[in-house]
């Protein structure tokens, strides 16, 4: 059997699937792409046994399912010719175009694990809307296996809105949109971080159009055009995140996001000079922000008595004083706000030992909490 495909299509296939296979997986076929003839064309699928992604390529063909190494698709997608021919038999796949030739052994497609959950909810939602709430939350997800239930994004419908929340214990991001009609996640679901990123990628790709979102107790799937991502959910209980969100107080500082992000980037460079020594003092990334009249001053200490100071113009409510915070977490939070289109941000905190409530007057749907640090 021989397939004739445009290299650009193969490049798009690899771009969509390359992050799915897990090189650490001991099951050989889970590191390969599964090719299967479907009604609308060739269905190419990748999996790591927890998440599965697939897309359909328009090409009339009939053949037995087969698994090919990703590098064959990647290399073929990088060719400059108008067409790539991929000849597949029981032993190997050979891709040719001009003088280029790539060959690799194949495995039977019947051994490829398929993820086929039974979904009990199916709604349509704006691709850009879904991408927006997941992208804003996922950057705060934890990476610690000890708290596996924090290694993802919590989705829940409440009060007619769909909320996305993530936290690693040091910071929390939450945002919401109007819930699609018929969507009911009353107890919530936890989407693993890898799956959340893939769902956000596909949703962003479909921005301006609706996508189909399917859920059940143990799985989630999103479909946009001929592309689909499905994943298992985290079996755990997400903590009551509202308990850690402080109420708005009378002490706050409001500043321009672009100016603050640039200032943080500049002062953080002093700690990059000797990162190991800074970490040894358990103060990696710590900065001090303080009220200096009409300015919010950012101060960072490096090794060998090195210091960095910068300032941005700010409007204060009450006596803001001094706060210590992780520049890494603060910068990531402010960056997420800027990505959503916010221009300004407000840090609301009664004192230096209290969590910082961070939000934007120009984006009422996003809220963050960043824990303080001693500096």
User: Domains of the chain by range and CATH?
Assistant: 2-108 (3.10.150.10), 121-243 (3.10.150.10), 247-370 (3.10.150.10)
Q: What is the DSSP letter of 173?
A: E
pLDDT of residue 274: 53
pLDDT tens, residue by residue, 58-103: 988 888 999 999 999 999 999 887 899 999 998 999 999 988 999 9
Q: What is the mean pLDDT of residues 232-252?
A: 95
Q: Work out the end-to-end distance of the chain between its first and last CA atoms, rounded to an integer number of angstroms.
A: 66
- Which H or E run contains 262? helix 257-272
pTM of the model: 0.91
CA atoms within a 13 Å half-sphere pointing along the CA-CB vector of 215: 21
pLDDT at residue 282, rounded to an integer? 42
Say which range, 108-112, 273-277, 330-334, has the weakest mean pLDDT.
Answer: 273-277
- Do residues 307 and 299 lie in contact, with contact meaning Cβ atoms separated by under 8 Å? yes
Point out which residues pair with 215 in neighbouring strands: 121, 220
**336 backbone dihedrals φ, ψ, rounded to 5°:** -65, -35
pLDDT of residue 208: 87
pLDDT in tens, 264-292: 999 988 877 555 554 544 455 789 999 99
CA-closest candidate to residue 72, choices 94, 52, 99: 94
Q: Which residues, at least 6 apart from 244, have a Cβ–Cβ distance to it below 8 Å?
A: 167, 172, 355, 369
**Averaged confidence pLDDT in the chain:** 92
Residues 6+ apart with CB under 8 A from 206: 127, 128, 224, 225
Mean pLDDT of all residues in 224-233:
96
Min mean pLDDT across 63-72, 137-146, 266-275, 337-346 is at 266-275
State the helix-helix crossing angle for 193-205 and 127-138, rounded to 10 degrees: 150
Taking the CA atoms of residue 337, residue 342, residue 343 and residue 347 in that order, the dihedral angle to the nearest 10 degrees is -50
Rounded Cα gap, residues 1 and 63, in angstroms: 7
CA distance linking residue 201 with residue 16, whole number of Å:
9
Other C-beta atoms within 10 Å of 37: how many?
A: 16
Average pLDDT in the 19-41 region?
90
DSSP E strands in 138-226: the ranges are 152-158, 161-167, 171-178, 189-192, 210-215, 219-224
- Contacts of residue 194, defined as CB under 8 A and 6 or more positions apart, other chains included, come to 19, 48, 50, 51, 231
d(CA 192, CA 194): 6
């Amino acid at each position: 059997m021989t397939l004739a495909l445009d290299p650009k299509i193969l490049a798009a296939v690899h771009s969509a699937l390359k992050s799915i296979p897990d090189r650490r997986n001991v099951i050989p076929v889970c590191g390969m792409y599964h090719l299967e003839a479907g009604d609308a064309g060739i269905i190419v699928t990748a999996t790591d046994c927890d998440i599965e992604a697939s897309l359909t390529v328009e090409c009339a063909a009939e053949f037995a399912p087969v698994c090919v190494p990703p590098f064959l698709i990647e290399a073929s997608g990088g060719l400059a010719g108008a067409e790539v021919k991929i000849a597949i038999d029981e032993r190997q796949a050979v891709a040719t175009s001009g003088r280029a030739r790539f060959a690799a052994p194949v495995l039977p497609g019947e051994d490829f694990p398929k993820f086929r959950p039974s979904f009990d909810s199916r709604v349509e939602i704006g691709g850009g809307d879904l991408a927006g709430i997941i992208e804003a939350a996922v950057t705060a997800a934890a990476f610690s296996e000890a708290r596996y239930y924090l290694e993802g994004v919590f989705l829940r419908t409440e009060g007619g809105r769909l909320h996305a929340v993530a936290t690693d214990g040091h910071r929390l991001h939450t945002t919401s949109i109007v819930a699609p009609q018929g969507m009911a996640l009353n107890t919530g679901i936890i989407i693993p971080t890898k799956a959340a990123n893939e769902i956000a990628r596909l949703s962003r790709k479909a921005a301006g159009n609706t996508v189909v979102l399917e859920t059940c107790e143990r799985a989630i799937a999103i479909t946009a055009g001929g592309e689909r991502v499905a994943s298992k959910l985290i079996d755990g209980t997400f903590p009551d995140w509202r308990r850690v969100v402080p109420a708005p107080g009378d002490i706050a500082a409001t500043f321009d996001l672009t100016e603050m992000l640039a200032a943080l980037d500049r002062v953080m460079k002093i700690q990059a000079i000797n990162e190991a020594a800074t970490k040894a003092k358990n103060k990696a990334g710590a900065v001090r922000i303080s009220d200096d009249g009409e300015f919010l001053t950012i101060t960072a200490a490096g090794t060998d008595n090195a210091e960095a100071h910068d300032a941005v113009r700010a409007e204060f409510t009450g006596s803001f004083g001094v706060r210590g915070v992780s520049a890494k977490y603060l910068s990531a939070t402010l960056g997420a706000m800027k990505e959503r289109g916010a221009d300004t941000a407000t840090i609301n905190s009664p004192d230096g030992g209290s969590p910082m409530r961070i939000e934007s007057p120009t984006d009422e749907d996003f809220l963050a909490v960043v824990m303080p640090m001693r500096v």
